[in-house]
């Protein structure tokens, strides 16, 4: 009930923000449907902690004076405030139970953590899309999901919960090599999903990254490969090594990514004997955050 | 015979320069023994191509007016001039036959190249030490040699020739990660060959580098590991992955390195079930370059 006694149109009207490091997307969601949205580059890296109240007020001015759920790096030490990680195995109910309430209608979604002996992992933001894909029926209840990017997430879902996951800093390594170091001047060309990329995937499957990367320089120095293909080969190498560590022949992978990056991972998965399906990551996010909102109500 | 008709003291008096990217070492060698030397930071990266004649004249002023052999990056496109690569398998006689004579008493030593299908590799400078170690009897005629560094060289020697080799950009990856990217702020501490390093070696042996590297961030974020140990763990991870790709249990490796870096590789080799021996890399260089001089005479 509003203060004036009128009933709100629907209990599930709210604003969801997918607030990443570089970008943010905000959605006004009514009964599980996006009725308005905005996207800009006011990511956590460019918003000071003290400015979040004003940023949130601005979003409400534009999209509606509604409850808000904020997911992603907004909940990290580079965001508004650092919120907890829920230990995997975890499903949407576990995430909803651990929402961090900034005030009585504004909450930050927790991340997930995972430990397996000395190996440890964290995610923050991806859990909404990954679990949302399951909740929306976009992927089976038992599945391997892949969300490529700077830090590529591979999550195993069982009975609707993420039971384990691995982050590979595949995109970050590519960016570092493209910007700094001995290979940088060879890697300026665009990455294309063709023969050079697939040759890189095959080389990457050897899982001997530091040596395979140097071969890019050697092939250039010896005139065995055109530097115009070097970025595609390097991308194939990194994505191939990542994928080969995660799948075997016959594995099915559900990919949540923009089309260009998704096509590269799909190409690598196919080359390594797997099968891939592209999942609509916005639909997955909206489904996941709506379910969290419902569970928290 | 000199122009004045007097006989020179010995036919094998000459100057050898190990001219790397950052540093150079010059030796006056008489009958295989170093009788004078100098070391400075006038590496190929800080000498313009046009300045080499003056640099070489300066070395002769200081160490003697003698024939000179120059090895290393001086023979690359960042050095005096780019000289050839001799294709492996290659021994010292092959190297000596391919010396690049700048004038009748000044020559640049060629590098080595290797191809194995799509994989290719090059070295420039290390071949003198690696083959010199064999020529001097410091390693057996059949051996696996490792020269760690920015670009770590692993060379298989058979019957005194390098038959194949692999370069891993292990040191460069560590430097990139320490300077740029998400792990940089965790990796500022010195690397120590202790428990954290060995935990990294064990993780590195999984040969899943992009994922194991992200675990450093996750372990830090979750408070599972002290960031003071992160650099040692990362070094162990990179060296472990490199070593695990090159040896199996029981393999003997001959290491040519400074004591600190050599101890790290020795620790990784030992942890992975191999055996290592430290080789005096200056003795190996002097033996190799002297043999090249003799063969070219």
Write down all domains in chain B, each with its CATH number in brackets: 14-138 (3.30.420.300), 168-279 (3.30.420.310)
pLDDT in tens, A41-58: 999 999 999 999 999 999
Predicted pLDDT at A119: 81
Give the strand pairing for B152-158 and A24-30. unpaired
Under the banding of pLDDT at 50, 70 and 90, the label for residue A11 is low
pLDDT in tens, A142-174: 999 999 999 999 999 999 999 999 999 999 999
Which of A120, A173, A203 is closest, CB to CB, to B215? A120
Highest-scoring range by mean pLDDT, A18-27, A75-84, B265-274: B265-274
pLDDT in tens, A93-107: 999 999 999 999 999
Which of B202, B213, B222 is closest, CB to CB, to A113? B222
**Residues in chain A within 8 Å Cβ distance of B213:** 169, 173
Which helix or strand (DSSP H or E) is residue B160 part of? none
- Its pTM stands at 0.92
Predicted pLDDT at A2: 41
Task: State how far residue A84 is from chain B, nearest Cα, in angstroms.
Answer: 10
Helix %, strand %, coil % of chain B (to 5): 40, 25, 35
- Looking from the CA of A190 toward its CB, the CA atoms found within 13 Å total 5
Predicted pLDDT at B9: 43
In this structure, what token pair is assigned to residue A237?
A: 């190498």
Which site among B168, B210, B230, B243 would you substitute to test the A interface, given the most A Cβ atoms closer than 10 Å to its Cβ? B210
State whether residue B82 is helix, strand or coil.
Answer: coil
Predicted pLDDT at B11: 59
Say whether B215 and A172 touch across the interface (CB within 8 A). Answer: no
Predicted pLDDT at A29: 97
Q: Which of B122, B147, B113 is nearest to B132 (CA)?
A: B147
Say whether B210 and A170 touch across the interface (CB within 8 A). Answer: yes
In this structure, what token pair is assigned to residue B148?
A: 């760690």
Distance (Å, whole) CA A44 – CA A76: 9
**Residues in chain A within 8 Å Cβ distance of B215:** 118-121, 167
| Tens-digit pLDDT string for chain B (297 aa) | 344 444 444 458 999 999 998 899 999 999 999 999 999 999 999 999 999 999 999 999 999 999 999 999 999 988 999 999 999 999 999 999 999 999 999 999 999 999 988 789 999 999 999 999 999 999 999 999 999 999 999 999 999 999 999 999 999 999 999 999 899 999 999 999 999 999 999 999 999 999 999 999 999 999 999 999 999 999 999 999 999 999 999 999 999 999 999 999 999 999 999 999 999 999 999 999 999 999 997
Distance (Å, whole) CA B157 – CA B277: 15
Q: Which of B119, B71, B77 is nearest to A218 (CA)?
A: B119
Distance (Å, whole) CA B240 – CA B235: 8
Mean local confidence (pLDDT), A136-141:
94
Q: How far is CA A259 from CA A231, A279, B181, in A?
A: 18, 10, 25
Using left for φ > 0, alpha for ψ between -120 and 50, and beta otherwise, residue B95 falls in alpha
**What is the average pLDDT value for chain A, to the nearest integer?**
94
Q: How many residues does chain A have?
A: 297
> With 70 as the cut, is the pLDDT of residue A1 above it?
no
Predicted pLDDT at A7: 44
- C-alpha torsion angle, residues A125, A131, A132, A138 (rounded to 10): 130
**Residues in chain B within 8 Å Cβ distance of A218:** 113, 120-122, 167
Predicted pLDDT at B117: 80
In this structure, what token pair is assigned to residue B23?
A: 């540093």
Edge-to-edge strand order for the sheet containing B111-116?
A: B85-87, B111-116, B119-123
Distance (Å, whole) CA A153 – CA A164: 11
pLDDT in tens, A80-91: 999 999 999 999
**Residues in chain B within 8 Å Cβ distance of A212:** 119
In this structure, what token pair is assigned to residue B187?
A: 């990796």
Distance (Å, whole) CA B186 – CA A260: 32
Predicted pLDDT at A158: 97
State whether residue A10 is helix, strand or coil.
Answer: coil
């Amino acid at each position: 009930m509003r203060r004036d006694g009128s009933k709100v149109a629907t209990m599930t009207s709210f604003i969801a923000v997918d607030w990443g490091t570089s970008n943010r997307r905000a959605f006004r969601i009514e009964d599980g449907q996006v009725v308005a949205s905005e996207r800009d580059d006011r990511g956590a890296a460019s918003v000071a902690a003290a400015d979040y109240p004003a940023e949130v007020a601005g979003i409400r001015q534009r999209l509606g004076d509604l409850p808000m759920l904020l997911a992603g790096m907004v909940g990290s030490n580079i965001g508004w405030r650092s919120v907890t990680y829920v230990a995997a195995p975890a499903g949407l109910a576990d995430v909803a139970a651990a929402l961090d309430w900034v005030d009585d209608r504004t909450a930050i979604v927790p991340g997930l953590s995972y430990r397996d002996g000395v190996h440890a992992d964290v995610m923050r933001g991806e859990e909404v899309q990954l679990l949302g894909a399951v909740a929306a029926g976009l992927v089976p209840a038992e599945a391997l999901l892949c969300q490529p990017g700077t830090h590529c997430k591979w999550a195993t879902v069982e009975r609707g919960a993420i039971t384990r996951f691995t982050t590979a800093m595949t995109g970050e390594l590519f960016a570092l090599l493209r910007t700094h170091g001995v290979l940088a001047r060879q890697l300026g060309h665009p990455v294309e999903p063709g023969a050079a990329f697939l040759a890189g995937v095959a080389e990457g499957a050897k899982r001997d990254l530091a040596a395979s990367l140097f071969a890019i320089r050697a092939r250039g120095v010896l005139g065995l490969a055109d530097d115009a293909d070097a970025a595609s080969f390097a991308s194939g190498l990194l994505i191939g090594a990542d994928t080969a560590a995660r799948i075997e022949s016959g594995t099915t992978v559900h990919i949540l990514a923009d089309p260009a990056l998704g096509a590269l991972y799909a190409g690598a998965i196919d080359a390594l004997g797997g099968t891939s399906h592209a999942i609509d990551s916005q639909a997955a996010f909206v489904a996941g955050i709506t379910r969290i909102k419902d569970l928290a109500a």
